[in-house]
Amino acid sequence: MKKYIYTLIIICFGGLTVFAGNPDRQGEAGAAELLLNPWARSAGLHSMSTASVSGIDAMRINVAGLSRINGGEFVVSNTRLWEGSEIGINSIGFVTKTGSSGAFAISLVAMDFGEIDITTTAQPGGTGGTYSPSFINLGLGYSYTYENKISVGLLVRAISETLPDVSASGFAIDAGVQYVSGDRDEFKLGIALRNIGSPMEFSGEGITFRADVPDSDIPYPVTASQRGEDFELPSLLNIGISYDFYFGETNYLRTLANFTSNAFARDDIGVGAEFSFRDIVTLRAAYKHALESISDESNLYTGFAGGVSIDVPLKRAENRVVGIDYAYRTTNPFSGTHNFSLRFGF
């Protein structure tokens, strides 16, 4: 078993040479929705809880954390992206233990662009009709914990981007590992490799046009199709650590640090803290900074983030709770991003 764990860690660290932040490649990747976090608990830590994430949030941060739950979760979430942009995310996720050491999860994440006016070259002011793009991804993940010390996980995600006359589809794979140590599992280390998959390419009637056949004595129109350029997925590598300071049986302060190596953007580094009081109220705060940033350049998700969770136990002995999570992240530009989640634990 150790051989496979060491191999995964070597692969993840070796990926640093491939996924080192590269400003020259910014804008070359597509499917940017894969980088958006719809779950409020981890969003309140700027998505930097690679080492400590558990439950459904692990589907977007480090899939190895799925099996770090006692029972299961059902979560619905709404995200108001970049306040003022009128773009949102609606999400639903379910995770449950399989046996004593494994966990299986499924999540569905859909972008909400609202209604967009249809315009043409002949009617630039609008035709009177509207359309709404459909960007959806469906994820299936599995995680397994060995002797309560090492967790490994794998996730497969189907991606669909559809407009009325063009569409693209693909798939992505995430892999992760978490390691815990200490009498109360105070120290945690996490590594996650995300969004590794097939290139995507748009196709459909929207990239066809009518044209006359060239070099013909009698010109006649034909339908021609342009070939769309394929694009890569926004791959990244997360490495994080955390340490918990306990005050009594149920109160703790969790400190964390995280490094993100982006294949198509600058790297990020950040720190955060999470304070939990009696497993009922949890407060979060984090700060993230883009490395090698330029002073006059906008880095969307840098700066401060914060959040709060309130868990109401229904039957504590059976881990049944209802939780409400909120997170706010500063953005540049726009007026920040708000995440709301409703959780049912069982």
DSSP labels for 137-148? EEEEEEEEEETT
Using left for φ > 0, alpha for ψ between -120 and 50, and beta otherwise, residue 24 falls in alpha
Between CA 257 and CA 19 the distance in angstroms is 19
Please report the domains of the chain, with CATH numbers, ordered by start residue.
2-202+235-345 (2.40.160.60)
pLDDT band at 226 (very low <50, low <70, confident <90, very high): confident
Statement: residue 17 has pLDDT above 50: no
Query: In the prediction, which pLDDT does 218 show?
Result: 64
* 38 and 59 Cβ atoms separated by less than 8 Å: no
pLDDT of residue 107: 96
Mean pLDDT, to the nearest integer, of 52-74?
A: 93
Question: How confident is the model over 68-100, as pLDDT tens digits?
Answer: 988 899 999 999 998 888 889 999 999 999 988
Beta strands in the chain (DSSP E): 72-81, 87-98, 102-112, 116-117, 130-131, 134-146, 150-162, 167-181, 187-197, 208-212, 221-225, 236-247, 251-262, 268-277, 281-290, 303-315, 320-329, 337-345
The pTM assigned to this predicted structure is 0.85
Instruction: Name the pLDDT band for 130 (thresholds 50, 70, 90).
Output: confident
How far, in Å, CA of 85 to CA of 298, rounded?
16
Taking the C-alpha atoms of residue 338 and residue 335, their distance in angstroms, rounded to an integer, is 10
- Residues with Cβ < 8 Å from 315, sequence gap 6 or more? none
Does the pLDDT value for residue 342 go beyond 90? yes
Q: SS3 of 232, please?
A: strand
Which pLDDT does position 4 carry in this prediction?
A: 43
Q: Is the predicted pLDDT of residue 312 greater than 50, yes or no? A: yes
- Rounded CA-CA distance 233/247 in Å is 43
Which string of DSSP letters, residue by residue, matches 165-220? S-EEEEEEEEEEEEEEESTT--EEEEEEEEEEE--B--BSGGGEEEEEPTT-SS--
pLDDT score for 18: 46
Q: What is the Cα–Cα distance from 262 to 292, expressed in whole angstroms?
A: 13
Looking at residue 339, its pLDDT comes to 95
Q: Which residue has the higher pLDDT, 166 or 157?
A: 157
DSSP state of 85: S
Q: Are 85 and 213 in contact (CB under 8 A)?
A: no
Local confidence band at 301 (pLDDT 50, 70, 90 cut-offs): confident
What does the pLDDT read at residue 7? 47
Residue 113: DSSP 8-state: -
Work out the percent of the chain whose per-residue pLDDT is above 70.
85
**Residue 93: closest CA among 73, 78, 118:** 73
Neighbours of 57 (CB within 10 A): 31
Q: What is the pLDDT of residue 124?
A: 81
- 33's tokens: 């929705």
Band the pLDDT of 246: cuts 50, 70, 90.
very high
Could you read off the pLDDT of 258-294 as tens digits, one per residue?
A: 999 988 888 889 999 999 998 899 999 999 988 875 5
278-62-194 Cα angle (round to 5) = 155
pLDDT of residue 293: 58
